[in-house]
A = this chain, B = another copy of it.
Amino acid sequence: MTSQPLIPLSDATLPLFIGVDVGGTSIKVGVVDDRGATLGFTRVSTEPYQPGEQAVARVGVALAAMLEDREIDRTLIRGVGLGSPGTMDIPTGMLLEPPNLYAWHQFPIRDTMQSVLGLPVTFANDGAAAAYGEFWLGAGREDPSIVMLTLGTGVGGGIIHRGRSIDGEHSHGSECGHVIIDSRPDARVCSCGQPGHLEAYASATAVVARTREALQRGRSSTLEHVTSELTALDVAEAAAAGDALALEIVDETADYLAIGIVSVVHTIDPNMVILGGAMNFGGMASAVGRRFLARIQSQFRAKTFPTLAERTKIDFAALGGDAGYLGAAGLARSAHKDP
């Protein structure tokens, strides 16, 4: 559920905050103290085909049970952070047209949650929440400015600039998956409908599509023998076993990411670029994952200014699937301290 150790209330630094991380299949809910330690955790199913109000009601019920179970006094909680996939309008707290939450369009999620939980809710993009988590407690915790890319079904983005999330003036800031890395008219088309975006090249979906196309072009590979639906995990496993096509796909994915990272870094100039999400070819635990990271680093260095080649760090995220709820709680804490 969470890989964070749970501390008892007696060990917590007050006040407490709730972090809520809405995903396509489940909603994670954590109670977090002022230093980022987790006191309690629960999750409910998202049910994207049912109205969002029902999910928020389930969050309320599950939270009440968890607070009781973990003996957490509700009056110690100062606020709720809510990270959700977009599109959204942050000032009004509206979900607009989240692509995978089919029954949640035009849903006033912030105010609904505020009234169900009876606490102020700080609303954020899921990419921004995850980035804030890594900034507060994870891979970026020594750095005032970070850029995070979340590599999954899509490519999410979050930018924390000198301690604050760049949400943008129209709730479209930090959309790093949607920088253009290929401006040719026949570039790959992104899930958003536009050609040439980083997401169209470096998401798990894109990795699978690029692999399939190579197989269809007649490239020989052990991946020809995958009988079920091909996944990015299959590509990672084939690469680990030395399959030439799979390794080429890994390297090219790194090259595409480096191009997008250069454009974002030349705009923001952060201390660090953090790569989160499950689409990391095994991450630091695997030789292929380490090769993937090393190639992103070397390609970035080859394409940027000497000072940035020397100083801008690029690394995998540290908090895994916990970054979202921890970061959402952190954003609530930040809003509470500095309204």
The distance in angstroms between the C-alpha atoms of A143 and B168, with both chains bound, is 12
The distance in angstroms between the C-alpha atoms of A161 and B169, with both chains bound, is 9
Closest-CB distance, A127 to chain B (whole angstroms): 12
Taking CB atoms, residues of chain B closer than 8 Å to A159 are 267
**Beta-carbon contact of A267 and B87 below 8 Å:** no
**Beta-carbon contact of A173 and B308 below 8 Å:** no
Stretch from A34-42, A177-185, A236-244 forming part of the interface with B = A177-185
> Beyond A259-B183, A264-B267, A267-B268, is A311–B176 a contact (Cβ under 8 Å)?
no
> Beyond A263-B179, A268-B267, is A172–B87 a contact (Cβ under 8 Å)?
no
Q: Is the interface of A mostly helix, strand, loop or mixed?
A: loop
The distance in angstroms between the C-alpha atoms of A194 and B305, with both chains bound, is 9
Closest-CB distance, A196 to chain B (whole angstroms): 8
**Beta-carbon contact of B266 and A176 below 8 Å:** yes
> Beyond A192-B305, A194-B303, A307-B87, is A267–B179 a contact (Cβ under 8 Å)?
yes
Closest-CB distance, A43 to chain B (whole angstroms): 30
A166 within 8 A of B: yes
Taking CB atoms, residues of chain B closer than 8 Å to A112 are none
A170 within 8 A of B: yes
Residue of B nearest to A157 (CB): B267
Taking CB atoms, residues of chain B closer than 8 Å to A269 are 166-175
Interface size class of A (residues with CB under 8 A): 35 or more
Taking CB atoms, residues of chain B closer than 8 Å to A122 are none
Closest-CB distance, A11 to chain B (whole angstroms): 35
**Beta-carbon contact of A168 and B268 below 8 Å:** yes
Q: Mark A138-175, 1 if CB is under 8 A from B, else 0.
A: 00000111000000000001010100001111111111
A312 within 8 A of B: yes
The distance in angstroms between the C-alpha atoms of A170 and B306, with both chains bound, is 11
A254 within 8 A of B: no
**Beta-carbon contact of A268 and B181 below 8 Å:** no
Protomer copies: 2
Which single member of B169, B182, B304 contacts A145 (CB below 8 Å)? B169
Q: Which of A180, A267, A311 has the most CB of B within 10 A?
A: A267
**Beta-carbon contact of A305 and B172 below 8 Å:** yes
The distance in angstroms between the C-alpha atoms of A259 and B183, with both chains bound, is 7
Q: Mark A298-325, 1 if CB is under 8 A from B, else 0.
A: 0000011101100110000000000000
**Beta-carbon contact of B170 and A166 below 8 Å:** no
**Beta-carbon contact of B161 and A144 below 8 Å:** no
The distance in angstroms between the C-alpha atoms of A184 and B181, with both chains bound, is 10
A271 within 8 A of B: yes
A207 within 8 A of B: no
**Beta-carbon contact of A180 and B262 below 8 Å:** yes
Taking CB atoms, residues of chain B closer than 8 Å to A192 are 305
The distance in angstroms between the C-alpha atoms of A197 and B167, with both chains bound, is 26
**Beta-carbon contact of B267 and A305 below 8 Å:** no
Residue of B nearest to A178 (CB): B266
Which single member of B176, B179, B267, B305 contacts A176 (CB below 8 Å)? B267
A270 within 8 A of B: yes
Q: Which of A144, A171, A175, A271 has the most CB of B within 10 A?
A: A175
Taking CB atoms, residues of chain B closer than 8 Å to A184 are 184
Taking CB atoms, residues of chain B closer than 8 Å to A262 are 179-180
